[in-house]
Amino acid sequence: MRDVVGIGALNLDILYEVDDLKALQEGEVPLRAGGETSLPPEEFAQFLRKVARTGNLLYKSGGGSAANTVVALVRMGFKTGFIGRVGADDEGAFILREMEGVDLSQVKREGKSGICLGILDRQRDRALVVQPHANDALCFEDLDFHYLSATHYLHLSSFVGEGPLEAQRQLMKVLPPGVRVSLDPGELYAQRGLKEIFPLIQRSYILFATAHEICTLTDRDDHRAGCKEIISLGTEVMVCKMGEEGAYLVSREGVMEFHPQTEAEVVDNTGAGDVYNAGFLAGLLLGRRYDDCLAFAHRVAATSLGGYGRQRYPDAGDLKVIQEG
């Protein structure tokens, strides 16, 4: 049995620093601080060249939301696997090397690897622009039923294309009831709305999202009302991530708040939400109460802010905090 298996995009993350994010918002590229968007291949290539001319390259790293979560979990000592597609290129080899310890036997290699361009300004506002490439080729036939049956949690994140989403929707119909589903829809699935990802929401044990994503997903101005609507559709636990303000959890038993006492130093917030998911899932796997899970998730996510990419991801030493608490 594995603890967590992830299904989501596998990307080469490239982070550039620019003076002002707003200066790149001119034209048709819909950049938003904290947001994520995608562009057609030619437009993406043009935009990448523009950012490379005006920005300072900070790092290249393996990425993808669900991939970041399982990498954080494996570094803490949990057994994880991943299902996805990556290019048969140097970028693909690099992405897989960055996932050391994760079972990658279900990852197929073909075509060009996906790229996620991160843009960080001096106010530490960050926007993501994605070109999916190989990720959009994922299909239902890539999902090994027996492999997926042998995990405690299945963690899902978003794709750009319709094909991989349809594969996830089909999977929800046949997944054994003993496998708990964890979902982080991100900006891309939130933009699709409740109707399109309803099968994922209905089958999810836990759903992670930011306040903005919840409002976008439910088409509401009030994210707390949006959480209650999501719970009414079948999700058992809803966690609203609110960054430095903490988080709150909504279930059928009520609402639980977590407010941090200290502020974290922010070097790069790319992937911090994915590490948060890993911290919360780690608590669940250890049988901890929801309040402990919220506190530990915030702790490891805050630590990850202190480095670029996966430099400050949690490890077994961090896990001792919740194990001994």
The pTM of this model reads 0.93
Q: Which residues are paired to 59 by β-bridges? A: 15
**Which of 41-55, 91-105, 304-318 is most confident?**
91-105
Pick the range with the lowest mean pLDDT from 33-47, 56-70, 96-110.
33-47
Pick the range with the lowest mean pLDDT from 130-134, 307-311, 312-316.
307-311
Q: What are phi and psi of 171, to 5 degrees?
A: -60, -35
DSSP string, 88-112: SSHHHHHHHHTTTTSEEEEEEE-SP
pLDDT for 92 beyond 80: yes
**Do residues 136 and 34 make contact, with C-beta atoms less than 8 angstroms apart?**
no
Q: Which of 209, 249, 242, 268 is nearest to 13 (CA)?
A: 268
pLDDT above 90 covers what percent of the chain? 77
**Cα gap 149→154, rounded to integer Å:** 9
pLDDT for residue 254: 93
Work out the average pLDDT over 254-279. 87
β 11-18/56-63 pair status: antiparallel
Q: What are phi and psi of 99, to 5 degrees?
A: -110, 35
pLDDT for residue 28: 60
**Cα gap 67→83, rounded to integer Å:** 9
Question: Mind spelling out the 3-state secondary structure of 188-218?
Answer: HHHHHCHHHHHHHHHHEEEEEEEHHHHHHHH
Q: Which residues contact 76 (CB under 8 A, 6 or more apart)?
A: 278, 282, 314, 315, 316, 318, 319
**Cα gap 2→309, rounded to integer Å:** 25
Q: What are phi and psi of 314, to 5 degrees?
A: -65, 160
Q: CA dist 137 to 44, 133, 160, 165, Å? A: 18, 8, 11, 11
Domains of the chain: 2-9+63-112+132-323 (3.40.1190.20)
**Cα gap 245→240, rounded to integer Å:** 11
Residue 92: how many CA atoms within 13 Å on its side-chain side? Answer: 18
| pLDDT tens profile 166-221 | 999 999 999 999 999 999 999 999 999 999 999 999 999 999 999 999 999 999 99
pLDDT for residue 30: 72
Sorting pLDDT into bands at 50, 70 and 90, what band is 81?
A: very high
CA 208 to chain CA mean position, Å: 9
**Do residues 196 and 169 make contact, with C-beta atoms less than 8 angstroms apart?**
no
Q: Which of 300, 273, 286, 230 is nearest to 78 (CA)?
A: 286
| pLDDT tens profile 120-166 | 887 667 788 999 999 999 999 999 999 999 999 999 999 999 999 99
**Do residues 266 and 302 make contact, with C-beta atoms less than 8 angstroms apart?**
no
Total residue length of the chain: 325
